[in-house]
A and B are shown apart, each in its own frame.
Chain A
Amino acid sequence: MTSLSLFAPSKLIRFGSLAWITAFVAFIAVLPLLYVVRYGLSLSSEQWLSLWSTRIPGLLWNTIVLAFIVAIFSLTFGISSAWIVARKDFVGRKAAIWLLLLPLTIPTYVFAHIYTVMLEEDGWLGSAWISIFGEGTLPPDLSSVVGVAFILALASFSYIFLLVRASLNQSTQNLEEAARIQGLNPVQVFTRVNLRLMRPAIAAGLAVVVLHVLSDFGAVSMLRYQTFTLSIYNQMSGRMDYQAAAGLSFVLILLSLSFLVVERFFRKRQRFFVSSQAKVVQRKKASLKEQMLIWFWIGLITLFSFILPVSWMVYFSWDSWLQGFIDSDFWRYSFNSGLVSFIAATIALVVAFPVAFYNARKQSKLSRGYLQTASLGFALPGPVLALGVLTFVLAQLPIIYGAISALVFAMVIRFLPLAVQAQDAALQQLTPSIEEAGRLFGAGPIENLRRVILPIVRSGMATAWVLVFIDVLKELPATLILRPTGFDTLPIRIWIEASEEMLELAAPAGLMLVIGTIPAIWLMRQSEKIN
């Protein structure tokens, strides 16, 4: 709630200046991108040619295939589970919602690390596999494209669950009733009515998932699967070849942008206004047989995406606790993580609001352009963004270098898209008539904002804040580069301990990330209820 009170006394938003503020935010967000483009363009045509002939085709193929498989996995997990909890009433429904959101708290590199260890022949899953399929069989290999996709899908399907469920809760059931009366069977109702109404939410969820895949560093680097992001990192750090890195980043950005354009195309004109009549969602009571099926499916998803990894972390954390590894340093890392995430999420929320609000009111090409521009940070892989910010800060703002400001700056730019998109989605519910009603009753712009607009978008704002908070908390590659000297966060420690093969030390840090995120998710769930 603290984050919301920031808006209340705001004299900042006079509507004439809204456009200027929006333009400014978009400009800042695009700065590191400009740096990459400038560097990329300085490549000679021979250098481009050699990149094209050696690296780019393979990387394109690897990256696109990976994104495609992750998309299929996460859509399957996300849509099915969202539909079940939104439309069926069954025992333990609330617990199921929590279990399906909690995988968001586990970073991809922790998933990759835990599953690698669990799948070894003497690991939890590896030994189970051998006892089932017999001596001499090999547990599945994670470093294949399907293995990497599985890990990334476990870590990101919750975004689709979150957005699709919200849209199912908001969409009217009248249409479903009408379709049923017309004699459509449940499957037809789902494909012809639900799926179409869910399309904007699915597209938005898919965008978040795919952009996470394109910019993922943790899992692909642990499993050695060559994507653009990993190759860019290797160019930068192995060879110190910034030019090739910038060239590859340039291609990656084009890839992300073309994906965003396609996504927007699917969302086009899909603006559904909430009708006030059917706000109460009725869930059908599931029969015993259905309940068993439901829990089999949700149980399976959550077993792999949350229960197993967390049990593993608890088990090894207990070990570390006994050995006295959890000391004052550990609490300092936790505090550092929380501090950066809290500040970055709050700033992102504040600066994203004018961009989303301006678009909701204007709905013009320009306003959409600003919105898209402010969403570009996601298209940049962490290491590249960090390099851009580092160069910019050293050249233009050396005074803030060495403190956490540079890190926070990078985090805000990187995760601004989540804040912008979530608030944009919420503000889209704001029909012009609601605002006009406010005006008719004599409310000035500020009062209208405070008493009419903010209450409606509150849940979207809480979601925005929480999503940014969680992502900053888990962020690794940019933090590695931009953190102040000696400033370690939980992900940094996980990364250090995991690369030192000190499993029992990485576990408590991973567990702390999960525990630290629970209040944030609780906050998000609360605001849903108020709405």
Chain B
Amino acid sequence: MLAIFSPVLVVAEELVVFSGRKDKFIKPVAKEFTRQTGIEVLLHTAKSTALLNKLKLEGERTDADLYISNDAGNLQKGSDLDLFQALPSELSQKIPANYRAADGTWLGLSARARVLVVNTKSDLAGQVNSVFDLADPKLKNKIAITHSANGSFIAGVTVYMLKQGDEQTLNWMKGLNENAGRNIFNKHSRVVKAVAKGKADVGLVNHYYIYRHLAKNPNAPIEIVVPDQGDGMGVAWNVAGVAISKHTKKKDAAIKFVEFLVSEKGQQMFSEVNKEYPTLPNVKTAAEIPKLANMKVSDVAMAKLGQNRNATIDLIEKSGLQ
């Protein structure tokens, strides 16, 4: 009984991972790592942002060895707050510079695209090809979006803001607010569902939500449209990634974990379970998602997502979007 009142004694070979990524996506990867190395992994799951707060308040008392988030914005924020330490450069250099911190304090592991989901039976099929089309008055009551506090939504807005400027992005959000009506949902899956059911003709989501819906409903009348291709700004991108806590006492084991995550096997497991794009070049992607080679990705460095987060939230609040 007394043991519960005293601080938890952590087993020597156990890594504590503060994880903002869904349990079911990270568990199989952690299990495989344990099988290969014998090092146990304890997942402490919560919202990425709440975990950053915890890391910051705990300072050197933290027992977190690693931090995993689904959002590059959070990872960069942690770097700016000096919560992480630099990874060995031979490790970070495996990942393209766009998908990691400039100072090597975090690495992107898997990427997702901010795309449009379109109902194939609607007359909009083949008509929309930019996210900015969503604010067109002709689309009133035809679009579905998530609420604006959603992390992926915020990260997308940051990209548009940096590529197209504050003014245009602000007007765009005002247009979204006009057009969405009741179709503002608290989850991406409900956006896809609304489009599949014909409650809306087009929705703004991360690409994998479309395939998750199709896996359950293979005949749903929906298709993916990768927006802003050709002369456009490119599709907005975000990565999930990992960082090593500044105050870890198990640096070697933590590095081993990161090594595993950027190995070909680790990359494949980490991305495939959620049908994301591995950040390590030349790793196979899931068959059904659009080929990376055919896609123009906007050139905003992922680190910018964190640096511009508060400015983005200010802009969203100014727009009055729910």
Contact B187 A224 (CB under 8 A): no
Contact A480 B50 (CB under 8 A): yes
Contact B57 A121 (CB under 8 A): no
| CA of A394 to CA of B187, assembled, Å | 36
Contact B8 A238 (CB under 8 A): no
| CA of A488 to CA of B8, assembled, Å | 14
Contact B24 A500 (CB under 8 A): yes
Chain A residues 383 to 404 lying within 8 A of chain B, measured CB to CB, are 387, 390-391, 394, 398-404
| CA of A501 to CA of B49, assembled, Å | 19
Contact B45 A501 (CB under 8 A): no
Residues in A neighbouring B149, C-beta threshold 8 A: 224, 234, 238
Interchain CB contact (< 8 A) of B8 among A394, A398, A485? A485
Residues in B neighbouring A404, C-beta threshold 8 A: 4-5
Interchain CB contact (< 8 A) of A501 among B4, B42, B187, B309? B187
Contact A240 B4 (CB under 8 A): no
The reply on A365 being an interface residue by CB < 8 A is: no
Residues in A neighbouring B182, C-beta threshold 8 A: 138, 141
Q: In angstroms, how far is the closest chain A Cβ from the Cβ of B118? A: 20
Residues in B neighbouring A222, C-beta threshold 8 A: 186
User: Residue on B with the closest CB to A398?
Assistant: B61
Residues in A neighbouring B189, C-beta threshold 8 A: 501
| CA of A240 to CA of B53, assembled, Å | 7
Residues in A neighbouring B63, C-beta threshold 8 A: 402, 485
Q: In angstroms, how far is the closest chain A Cβ from the Cβ of B153? A: 12
The reply on B116 being an interface residue by CB < 8 A is: no
Contact A401 B16 (CB under 8 A): no
Q: A121-B197, A240-B56 are in contact. Are A224 and B147 (CB under 8 A)?
A: yes
| CA of A404 to CA of B8, assembled, Å | 9
Q: A486-B16, A502-B24 are in contact. Are A403 and B46 (CB under 8 A)?
A: no
Residues in B neighbouring A138, C-beta threshold 8 A: 182
User: Residue on B with the closest CB to A336?
Assistant: B4
Q: A138-B182, A238-B313, A501-B187 are in contact. Are A401 and B44 (CB under 8 A)?
A: no
Contact B8 A402 (CB under 8 A): yes
User: Residue on A with the closest CB to B24?
Assistant: A500
Q: In angstroms, how far is the closest chain B Cβ from the Cβ of A409? A: 11
Contact A403 B50 (CB under 8 A): no
Interchain CB contact (< 8 A) of B310 among A143, A239, A502? A239
Contact A239 B313 (CB under 8 A): yes
Residues in A neighbouring B43, C-beta threshold 8 A: 486
Contact A390 B61 (CB under 8 A): no
Binary B-proximity of A143-183 (CB < 8 A = 1, otherwise 0):
10000000000000000000000000000000000000000
Interchain CB contact (< 8 A) of A400 among B5, B45, B147, B310? B5
Interchain CB contact (< 8 A) of B57 among A238, A390, A501? A390
Residues in A neighbouring B61, C-beta threshold 8 A: 394, 398, 401-402
Contact B54 A481 (CB under 8 A): yes
Binary B-proximity of A118-144 (CB < 8 A = 1, otherwise 0):
001100000000000000001001010
Other A-B pairs beyond A234-B149, A238-B149, 5, CB < 8 Å: A116-B186, A239-B313, A240-B52, A240-B77, A403-B5
Could you list 11 A-B pairs, sorted by A, with CB under 8 Å?
A: A121-B197, A238-B49, A401-B7, A403-B7, A405-B5, A484-B7, A484-B8, A485-B8, A486-B16, A496-B23, A500-B22
